[in-house]
Chain A
Amino acid sequence: MTVTHHPPENLLAGFASGLLEEAEHLVVGVHVAGCPGCRRFLHAIEQLAGTAIEEAAPVPMSEDAFDLVMAHVREMPPTGAPRPAPVRTVWPAPGRQDLPELLRRYRLGKRRRVAPGVSVQPIELSGSGKARAFLLQSAPGTRMLEHTHSGTELTCVLEGSFSHDAGRYGPGDFDYGDDDIDHRPVVGDEGPCLCLVAMTGDLRMNGFLGRLISPFVRL
């Protein structure tokens, strides 16, 4: 099975330039680790960024900068460590209990139930951005309430699947939602669905039931 839904180009370029918030950077990174096509795109952006460095207007360094750098450098021989092994994810990863490597570098908070069949587990970030990241687990066949976003929502499926107007999303697939999108995902019947989500703003539940429970959902 191949990954069919990818991040929009501006998010990939933001990732390559290091301009995304930490939560978003993480979700895009987990997708990219399992997607050769997006890796090629990132690599291309990095090459173009090299040209941007070449053409950046030089700004003089402080007078002692070179000496400071040489003082550091004198202590250590060049070459040094070998190149680290690439981080890769192969989708799907059936029966895998472990999380993608990028995610394993983070500490997870306490998992809590937020609605019937739905639980979230926050990911502890450095706090440098406004977006939050969490794991969202939903029982098979869960029909998420119709909702819109006050900010943006980036999702990478880790396990299982969900579907909405734009198609079916399986392991490795990336979904992007903002305040224009009003959707109602349904979790596939084949098993629980585990997603990695980065979110700014809040979810807004639509409909009577949604408004009734949204104060308690606190997603």
Chain B
Amino acid sequence: MIAAIRISRLPIRADVGLPRSREARLSIGTSRRLKAKVDWADLVGRVASSGNREAFKSLFEHFAPRVKGFMLKAGCSADEAEDIAQNTLIAVWRKAGQFDPASTGAAAWIFTIARNLRIDLLRRTARVSRLESKEMLAADPDSADSAEVVVSRVEDTARVRGAIERLSSEQSRVIRLSFIEERPHPEIANLLGIPLGTVKSRIRLAMNRLRDLLDEEQ
């Protein structure tokens, strides 16, 4: 019963209109407010410089359940999501020295770690079930995920940051819902409180705007 109430609460709140949609629109603003309360990048830095356990525990308590929630929504099983979340935090500890706050946010960095672990998990599972007798390729998870990370590392981070800041909060939300969380269009229409028929063009507009902002000379 409690679980049922919990599940039904979110969509109902999403329908409530103004107060909810105002809260929801502040996606980037919200994360900035959170950062003002807890500076996650600073905590990663403290793990890197002194192996600070308290800092790591805060990171674990905040991010592990969110990575797990994100992975569940993305279609992972409960075991897989738990496994990815644990391994993500292990990697956060291990790779804390590689985190560069000038080029990326702590949450985005943690996202890329979790994403690479999921890619790696999918491929390893497929390989193990397919080639039990054959020699295993890329047994080291580090070598498997590093390619993905380094491809997307970017030289001109200031330009990217500027573009994201100038994107309207609705536009960044549309991109997130459609491409990162892969929500179906009716759900996006519902969350944003817009007609279903306009979802496609909103996505198109948001993508074009992001492209234009990124391509602008500074």
Contacts and interface: CB of A to CB of B under 8 A. Distances in A.
Interface string B37-61: 0000000000110010000110011
Interface of A: 9-10, 13-14, 16-19, 22, 25, 29, 32-33, 36-37, 39-62, 65-66, 68-69, 72-73, 76-87, 101-102, 105, 107, 124, 126-128
Contacts of A22: 123
Interface residues of B, number: 91
Contacts of B104: 43, 46-47, 50
Nearest to A39: B154
Nearest to A47: B108
B14 interface: no
B187 to A, nearest CB: 14
Nearest to A6: B211
Interface in B20-35: 27-28, 30-31, 34
B63 A61 contact: no
A56 B66 contact: yes
Nearest to B90: A72
Interface string B52-76: 0000110011011111111011100
Nearest to A58: B65
A87 B154 CA distance: 11
B147 A49 contact: no
Contacts of B131: 127
Contacts of A65: 64, 82, 85-86
A126 B144 CA distance: 12
A44 B123 contact: no
Contacts of A81: 95, 98, 142
A17 B151 contact: no
B182 interface: yes
A69 B90 contact: yes
Nearest to A84: B146
A22 B121 CA distance: 12
A78 B48 contact: yes
B210 interface: yes
Contact of A78 (B93, B109, B182): B93
Given A29-B147, A51-B176, A53-B63, A46 B68 contact: no
B81 interface: yes
A49 B96 contact: no
Given A19-B182, A78-B97, A53 B114 contact: yes
A113 B200 CA distance: 43
A78 B214 CA distance: 34
A210 to B, nearest CB: 33
Nearest to B179: A13
B202 interface: no
Contacts of A87: 147, 150-151
Nearest to B126: A128
Contact of B210 (A41, A51, A69, A76): A41
Given A29-B148, A61-B64, A73-B56, A43 B154 contact: yes
Contact of B98 (A37, A66, A72, A82): A82
B175 A13 contact: yes
A48 B126 CA distance: 29
Nearest to A73: B93
Given A77-B51, A107-B137, A62 B175 contact: no
A51 B114 CA distance: 14
Nearest to B62: A58
A78 B96 contact: yes
30 contacts: A13-B179, A16-B152, A36-B156, A39-B151, A40-B154, A40-B214, A43-B157, A44-B164, A46-B152, A47-B104, A47-B105, A48-B164, A49-B176, A50-B111, A53-B110, A54-B34, A54-B66, A54-B107, A55-B30, A55-B31, A56-B70, A56-B73, A61-B68, A68-B86, A76-B94, A81-B98, A82-B97, A86-B151, A86-B153, A107-B137
